Chain A
Amino acid sequence: MSAVRLLAVGLVVAVGVLALPDAAHACAMCFSGPEESRRAFFVTAAFLTLLPLGMVAGATAWLRGKARAAEASQDSEQADSAS
């Protein structure tokens, strides 16, 4: 494909994207009727997104703290045995 032809196709695609915008109706929590229902979708989506991230972060911090404490105690034991 020549450069001019490629440019023409790109121009047509760009005009299509810019000139024909429309709302995407794929958001379950945006168009589901009553306010209470929409709020429930939003809250549960946030809850299910943040919960695993929080658990992984918490577990990592806890394990890191335990590892540091174990390392410090091993270092002090080695220092004691050396002296």
Chain B
Amino acid sequence: MSANSVAYPVEPQGRSPEPVRRKPVVASGVLGMLVFIFTEIMFFAGLISAHTIVRAQNAGGMWPPYGQPRLPVEETAVNTAALLVSGIVLFLSWLAFRREPASARIPLLLSIVLGAFFVYAQGLEWVALLREGLTLQSSNYGGFFYLIVGTHALHAVGAIIALGWAWHRLTQGRLTSSQLATVAAFWYFVVLVWPVLYVQVYL
């Protein structure tokens, strides 16, 4: 699995054999990112579980609690669509990169723009909700909303910065396929975890 792993073929004549360098099964960056993503999945699973229990224990089964503003389900559905499309475009950019690296520039940039739109629109939503009185301390409802959605937004910003770095290297002709795969794996995580959070928090 490691890039440095070698195999020594047996030579019947007793000569010292030439080591055969094996290709790594998975690039080290991708493997490291997968381990990181596993820990992140468990982190979000913990948040979702805590939210599920608090929601179930809420008095009278009323959620959102009385006096708390409703979350903008429809507007966020549009943001969700933008994020999902961003993931699809990134996949297209990966396919384009395998054919001809320079042809991946535009789809990769489009993916970054769609991701940035998602974060910007979520920011606007936060401002509107804060004005309506939903804060981190107003209730468990507000606390969980800002904690879960805010944590996801932080991940999205980190992934967009990583995608921007990849795009910069691509324009310089220095981006390798394993670097793109590593960054893309993180963005796919950000994209795929969001529908779960949306259903859990907004609906």
Contact residues of A with B, CB < 8 Å?
A: 32-34, 36-37, 39-41, 43-44, 47-48, 51-52, 55, 59, 63, 66-67, 70, 74
Known contacts A66-B25, A70-B25; decide if A36 and B56 are in contact (CB<8 Å): yes
* Contact B45–A51 (Cβ < 8 Å): yes
The verdict on B26 contacting chain A, using a C-beta distance below 8 Å, is yes
Question: In the bound complex, do residue A51 and residue B42 qualify as a contact, i.e. CB atoms below 8 Å apart?
Answer: yes
Judging by beta carbons under 8 Å apart, are A40 and B56 in contact?
yes
| A-B CB contacts (within 8 Å), total count | 49
Q: Chain B, interface size: which category?
A: 10 to 19
Query: B13 contacts the other chain (Cβ, under 8 Å)?
Result: no
The secondary structure that dominates the A interface is helix
B23: chain A residues at CB < 8 Å are 70, 74
B38-60 contacts to A (CB < 8 Å): 38, 41-42, 45-46, 48-49, 52-53, 55-57
List B contacts of A36 (CB < 8 A): 56, 61
